[in-house]
């Protein structure tokens, strides 16, 4: 299948379906708790339905893995492929009018992160789309991307997610990294921030909380790998995980091996 074209069609359908919700800048009512444990907003459901609708229209048989509604099967051969989605990455940003949110879709041959072979992370505000296919590199829109060559931590832009969860446990571990750099960021949509590492816009992104789900990063994982960046667990081992809404991970992603090794040294010091 022409997966990149199918993923583009998914992106286009999502943008059409969520348009009525743009511009409200008001928190949305919670519709319950999703399979991944987070509150569900109506825009999440609308975006997920847009993906499913597009895949069915394209004639795809698939197993859907979603942090919103869990694992569901579609078509006559649902184990042909597994489609892992985060319908809206950065839902709070979206609902409050903060222009940094995306949709994330990964296609894999099995229920393992390491089997993802096609991926898209689409910035739904800035009309930028990161895509990757295994063995074929990564692109932003039609342009091939590569990560940063920055090796000086003091000048590096480092993304760090300390979003309340276990902050008293995580902060001491990462304080040595924070002390070494002047430019700390967190923008509120982790898949898109990982793609910024792949694209050289930021030099590293760190999440040690063990809160983020494998479903959140499945697409960005392939984008980073295909762009030539580094992504490992906090012990420096290759990042892999079961593709399941309840599977949580911690990771470090960097533009190159040198700065990645330096961050690992500081974390384990």
The second-level CATH assignment, the architecture, of 3-144 is 2-Layer Sandwich (3.30)
Domain boundaries, the chain: 3-144, 157-268
Check residue 168 and give its pLDDT: 76
Confidence of residue 36 (pLDDT cuts 50, 70, 90): low
The stretch 107-125 carries a mean pLDDT of: 97
Check residue 203 and give its pLDDT: 98
The mean pLDDT of the chain is 91
**For residue 27, pLDDT beyond 70:** no
DSSP string computed for 128-152: EEEEEETTS-EEETTEE--------
The stretch 122-143 carries a mean pLDDT of: 96
Confidence of residue 37 (pLDDT cuts 50, 70, 90): low
**For residue 16, pLDDT beyond 90:** yes
Residues with Cβ within 8 Å of 152's Cβ and at least 6 positions away in sequence, in order, are none
**For residue 45, pLDDT beyond 80:** yes
- CA 228 to the chain's CA centroid: 17
pLDDT tens digits, one per residue of 48-85: 999 999 999 999 999 999 977 889 999 999 999 999 99
* Fold of domain 157-268: D-Maltodextrin-Binding Protein; domain 2 (3.40.190)
């Amino acid at each position: 299948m022409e997966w990149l074209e199918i993923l583009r069609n998914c992106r286009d359908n999502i943008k059409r379906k969520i348009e009525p919700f743009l511009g409200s800048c008001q928190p949305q009512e919670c519709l319950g708790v999703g399979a991944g444990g987070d509150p569900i907003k109506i825009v999440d459901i609308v975006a997920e339905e847009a993906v499913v609708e597009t895949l069915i229209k394209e004639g795809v048989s698939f197993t859907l893995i979603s942090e919103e509604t869990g694992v569901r099967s579609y078509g006559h051969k649902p184990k042909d492929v597994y489609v892992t989605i985060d319908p809206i990455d950065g839902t709070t940003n979206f609902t409050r009018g903060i222009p940094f949110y995306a949709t994330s879709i990964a296609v894999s041959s099995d229920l393992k992160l390491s089997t993802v072979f096609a991926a898209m992370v689409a910035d739904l505000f800035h009309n930028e789309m990161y895509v990757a296919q295994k063995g074929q590199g990564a692109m932003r829109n039609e342009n091939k991307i590569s990560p940063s060559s920055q090796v000086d931590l003091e000048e590096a832009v480092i993304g760090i997610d300390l979003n309340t969860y276990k902050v008293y446990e995580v902060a001491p571990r990462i304080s040595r990294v924070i002390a070494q750099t002047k430019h700390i960021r967190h923008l509120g949509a982790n898949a898109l921030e990982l793609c910024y590492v792949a694209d050289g816009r930021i030099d590293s992104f760190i999440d040690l909380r063990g809160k983020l789900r494998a479903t959140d990063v499945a697409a960005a994982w392939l984008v980073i790998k295909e762009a030539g960046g580094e992504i490992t667990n906090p012990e420096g081992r290759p990042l892999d995980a079961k593709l399941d809404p309840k599977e949580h991970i911690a990771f470090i992603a960097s533009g190159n091996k040198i700065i990645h090794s330096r961050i690992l040294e500081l974390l384990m010091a």
